[in-house]
């Protein structure tokens, strides 16, 4: 498999490539391409989401930027001192992250926000390359089950050995921590499945683990 960190013209998944390009025709001016990771170039912790949203990252070109899904994420990172701004609006807003980086399990917009298992597997090589490149990362935060599984695949771990659960903490074979959270989607936040307090607790714990001295 390729060790390339990112391919801005990737067409490994024809369904996703066609869908994102169609979104660009429907909405001129949208990014409508694979969305790269964003954040500190030498991160200590890495947040992994699901995939770009139609009118969020697919529009702006930055993970969790421009739609509801990123509101709680960036507000919480700002409260923890990891983001220079509480709102992420565009790639030109000057926002910078400290110590943390954000990426997605799937880099392209999927129909109905649901990538097929084969598409997640195909895109996993990019996440695997990201994990290999960012050796200072000590904590991986999975926003949702698909991100959890993608991290395990990228780390070469068995999915059966680590069960997803909100606030669950898993020590992987390479010494890194995998910390789980429900996804900060509109549905989860509006139904209170995920509250701001729950989310802040998980991210604060992840940041704490990331900066602790090595054992």
Residue 169 burial (CB count, 10 A) = 15
Contacts of 52 (CB under 8 A, 6+ apart): 35, 58, 63, 104, 107, 108, 109
Q: Of 85, 155, 145, 80, give the one whose Cα is nearest residue 115.
A: 145
Task: Evaluate whether residue 70 is within a structural domain.
Answer: yes
- Number of domains observed in the structure of the chain: 1
Q: Contact 107/6 with Cβ under 8 angstroms? A: yes
Dihedral of the CA atoms 155, 157, 163, 167 (nearest 10)? -30
Task: Evaluate whether residue 20 is within a structural domain.
Answer: yes
Residue span of the structural domain in which 63 resides = 14-211
Distance CA 170, CA 168 (A): 7
Dihedral of the CA atoms 89, 91, 96, 98 (nearest 10)? 100
3-state secondary structure (DSSP) of residue 70: helix
What is the DSSP code (8-state) at residue 56?
A: T
Task: Evaluate whether residue 126 is within a structural domain.
Answer: yes
Task: Evaluate whether residue 145 is within a structural domain.
Answer: yes
Task: Evaluate whether residue 3 is within a structural domain.
Answer: no
Query: How much is the pLDDT for 34?
Result: 98
Query: How much is the pLDDT for 4?
Result: 86
Q: Mind listing the pLDDT tens digit of every residue in the chain (215 residues)?
A: 345 899 999 999 999 999 999 999 999 999 999 999 999 999 999 999 999 999 999 999 999 999 999 999 999 999 999 999 999 999 999 999 999 999 999 999 999 999 999 999 999 999 999 999 999 999 999 999 999 999 999 999 999 999 999 999 999 999 999 999 999 999 999 999 999 999 999 999 999 999 987 65
Residue 42 burial (CB count, 10 A) = 11
DSSP annotation string for 81-112:
TSBS-S----TTS---BSSEEEEESS-SPPGG
Query: How much is the pLDDT for 212?
Result: 87
Task: Evaluate whether residue 155 is within a structural domain.
Answer: yes
Task: Evaluate whether residue 9 is within a structural domain.
Answer: no
**What CATH number corresponds to the domain at position 101?**
3.40.470.10
Cα R_g (the chain), whole angstroms: 16
Task: Evaluate whether residue 8 is within a structural domain.
Answer: no
């Amino acid at each position: 498999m390729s060790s390339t960190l990112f391919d801005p013209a990737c067409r490994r998944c024809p369904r996703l490539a066609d869908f994102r390009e169609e979104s660009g025709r429907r909405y001129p001016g949208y990014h409508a391409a694979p969305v790269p990771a964003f954040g500190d170039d030498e991160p200590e912790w890495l947040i992994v989401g699901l995939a770009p949203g139609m009118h969020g990252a697919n529009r702006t070109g930055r993970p969790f930027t421009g739609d509801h899904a990123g509101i709680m994420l960036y507000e919480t990172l700002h409260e923890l001192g990891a983001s220079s701004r509480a709102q992420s609006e565009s790639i030109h807003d000057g926002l910078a992250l400290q110590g943390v980086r954000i990426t997605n399990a799937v880099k392209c917009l999927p129909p109905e926000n649901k990538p097929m298992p084969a598409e997640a597997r195909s895109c996993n090589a990019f996440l695997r390359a990201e994990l290999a490149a960012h050796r200072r990362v000590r904590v991986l935060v999975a926003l949702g089950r698909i991100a959890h599984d993608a991290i395990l695949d990228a780390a070469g771990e068995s999915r059966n050995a680590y069960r997803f659960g909100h606030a669950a903490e898993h020590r992987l074979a390479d010494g890194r921590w995998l910390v789980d959270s429900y996804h900060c989607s509109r549905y989860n936040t509006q139904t209170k499945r995920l509250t701001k307090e729950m989310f802040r607790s998980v991210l604060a714990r992840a940041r704490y683990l990331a900066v602790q001295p090595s054992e």
